[in-house]
Chain A
Amino acid sequence: MTALVLPPDVTAVMQSFFTAEITTINRAGQPLTWPAATYFDEEAGRVVCAVSIAFPVKAYNARRNPKVSLLYSDPTGSGLEAAPTVLVQGTAEVAEVLDYPPDIIGLFANVARNQPDSSKFSGNRIARRVFSWYLFQRIAIRVTPDRVTAWPGGDTASEPFVWEAADGR
């Protein structure tokens, strides 16, 4: 396994962008892309997002076909300027969120920090009971990168930085 070593500006994007666009492939071969809050677990070298059990299609797709991608292309709110556009293509592992390891807490913490009103909502006993299917009953999609491509300044016509796992995971 090759250690995931990325330039600091690429790491900053994966840590700071509020959302990434995750693509899964359905049974018919149709790619489907949705925005998702993510957490980049730099130590583990993987990215996690989590979908509500009410909208499990992404998780079902990723379980059936673990080849997925994450595009970081919307810097809104991140505070980063002229950031690269980053495409992570990798292998997904799918599991219900039944315990709370550091990456899941990191993901919840990202949402709490980036969306201040969500904390008021999830901190309310009635709201979290009524909306637990949305807030907490979730399925994690953990993506181990096989390839990371980054285009400086978001210009996809420019020469990209490319990192690839040497073992072809």
Chain B
Amino acid sequence: MDGDRLLPLIAEYRSAVLSWVGPDGYPASARCHVTWSAEQHERIQLEGVPPPAAGVTGLACLLFHQHDEHLEGLRQMVVKGELTGDGAFIASGVVTANGRPDTDRMPHAGAPLHMLAFLRVGRRASGAYLRKRGEPWPPIPFEEIGRLVTEHNARRG
């Protein structure tokens, strides 16, 4: 299973966001508590199915994420899988936003090697997007954006 080494990190989170697709075709989500054990491995147990998800089976995902009071200390990973009818979630893969198979921590200035790896991944991926786009991205008016952002936040107080 992709991202197998990340599953034990589940134990470090207080809750997860469970998402599924409703009968009307819209996705829906609710917070829940889950239990992971090495013995059960890809079988993640929901500690009570959240009421909006009662009776739901089929494709679903669990998002684990956290940040602090300054939107730092970011961690995030998504476990893809299926909901069974008996309150369990069977994982089929784990994805991180940092492109790494060993940690769900997002890069930050305090970890320069991690930041460099993220830069490499990001530049490669954005280069692929731009090649597919066919035209270069227009110049970005950094100073103008900065001025508008400052004005916006000054108005909000």
Which A residues are within 8 Å of any B CB, using their own CB?
18-19, 21, 23-25, 28-35, 37, 52-56, 67-69, 71, 73-74, 76-77, 85, 87, 89, 98, 100, 102, 105-106, 108-109, 111-118, 121-123, 125, 128, 130-134, 136-137, 146-147, 149, 154, 156-157
CB <8 Å contact, B70 and A53:
no
Q: Which of A21, A23, A28, A73 has the most CB of B within 10 A?
A: A23
Known: A71-B31, A122-B142, A156-B51. 17 other contacts (CB 8 A): A23-B29, A23-B61, A24-B27, A25-B21, A29-B59, A30-B59, A33-B17, A53-B137, A56-B129, A76-B67, A87-B30, A113-B156, A114-B70, A117-B72, A137-B137, A149-B52, A156-B31
Q: Is the CB of A154 within 8 A of B31?
A: yes
Tell me if B's interface is mostly helix, strand, loop or mixed: mixed
Check B153–A109 contact: CB distance below 8 A: yes
Contact A115:B71 (CB < 8 A) given known A35-B65, A123-B146, A136-B145:
yes
Give the CA-CA distance A33 to B80 in the complex, in Å. Answer: 9
Option from B19, B68, B125, B149 in Cβ contact (under 8 Å) with A105: B149
Beta-carbon nearest neighbor of B32 in chain A = A156
Instruction: Check A114 against B71 for contact (C-beta < 8 Å).
Output: yes
